[in-house]
Amino acid sequence: MAATAKPAVQDEVTYMRPVSNCAGCGDTKVSWAVMEGMRRYNREHNLKGKDRYEVVYVADRGCGNLQGWHNYRIVDTIFFMGSGVIIGEGIKESCSDKQVVITASGDGGYNFNLNAIKIAGKNKRWGAINVIYNNFVIRMTGGQIPLETDFDKEGLSLGYEEVIHVNPFHVNDNAELFKTLIDRYFKKEKILVVADGVCVLDMTRDARAEGLKMGHFEKTEECLDVKFAKEKERVAREEPEKLKDMPRFKCRQCGIGLRCHALLNNDPSICQACGACKQFPCVTDCLAFQGLSFADSVSIDQLKKMGKT
């Protein structure tokens, strides 16, 4: 996987509550790819200012709602579980011709409102890009195993031209995918994108149960964040009255860009080995990843084979 363009980072004003999802969350990685795909589409077509297109990203309660309502510009609006797609169809009625509505559901939400999925797939007025966060469990109501779902067969029967499965941690590849899907959206095509294995917590537990040792990110001593941490230690030791006025982090671009607690806190011990940061071009070339990651594969069996080589 080639290195991706540097994620857009705005001034962080929510550093006390930087992101809601877990470190390495696959949902936020897919959401980043959606937004980056639109940025790349605008750049490719040299669209600037009022000529640029923008995404309106509509998600369900559940995997979607943990991503929104803060300054990292992930999910725009959230409704009850299973409602994202049908609400998105309504939003299209009031959107400008410079807005692209992309909807998202968890695998549980998908089964809760199949009729809405069908309406979006059969509606001839607009295109549709519908993302499914597939973590193989209904987390919101206690962790039940969801209904058995054959997205490939069901998607086609519900009116979608194509069902595309992606590894959520291939952030660069997925951004390129969404860039191309926006063109298809304008042609009124209907696409279902299934992000398999978005929950790194579940996958990490499965990997450990199989005896797999997953990798983690590393930062060099030249990292701006590491340098700032040392300065903070000095202030705490020598000028503790000034500590309250210092932000928690200095650089933070990798953590903010990829919405990751582990990177934001510069703490490899909570890294969940998603591997998305392997594709992140650190501005000071200080970020690396060592060992196996779920960006290599979300299949435990395949990771076991890789671990033996």
Q: Tell me, what amino acid is at 132?
A: I
Helix axis angle for 171-186 and 26-44, nearest 10°, is 60
Q: What whole-number distance in Å separates Cα of residue 149 and Cα of residue 196?
A: 12
Whether the CB-CB separation of 166 and 193 falls below 8 Å is answered with yes
Identify the burial level of 227 via C-beta atoms within 10 angstroms of its C-beta, where 0-12 means exposed, 13-18 middle and 19 or more buried.
Answer: middle
Closest CA to 249 of 269, 268, 223, 217: 223
User: What's the confidence (pLDDT) of residue 181?
Assistant: 97
Structure tokens at 113: 């409102």
Beta strand 287-290 with 216-219: parallel, antiparallel or unpaired?
A: antiparallel
- Cα angle vertex 69, ends 67, 72, to 5°? 70
Q: What whole-number distance in Å separates Cα of residue 170 and Cα of residue 177?
A: 10
Give me the residue spans of the domains in the chain. 26-198, 207-308
Pick the CATH number of 26-198 from 3.30.300.30, 3.50.50.60, 3.40.50.970, 3.50.30.30: 3.40.50.970
Q: What whole-number distance in Å separates Cα of residue 245 and Cα of residue 42?
A: 39
Q: How confident is the model over 7-20, as pLDDT tens digits?
A: 544 444 444 444 45
> What does pLDDT average to in each consecutive run of 10 residues of the chain (309 residues)?
50 45 84 91 94 88 52 57 79 88 85 86 92 76 67 93 95 95 96 92 90 91 80 88 76 78 85 90 85 92 84
User: What's the confidence (pLDDT) of residue 252?
Assistant: 76
Q: Tell me, what amino acid is at 95?
A: C
Whether the CB-CB separation of 81 and 35 falls below 8 Å is answered with no
Closest CA to 190 of 227, 160, 145: 160
Closest CA to 163 of 209, 199, 129, 126: 129
User: What's the confidence (pLDDT) of residue 249?
Assistant: 64
What are the C-alpha distances in Å from 73 to residues 226, 257, 258, 306? 26, 10, 12, 36
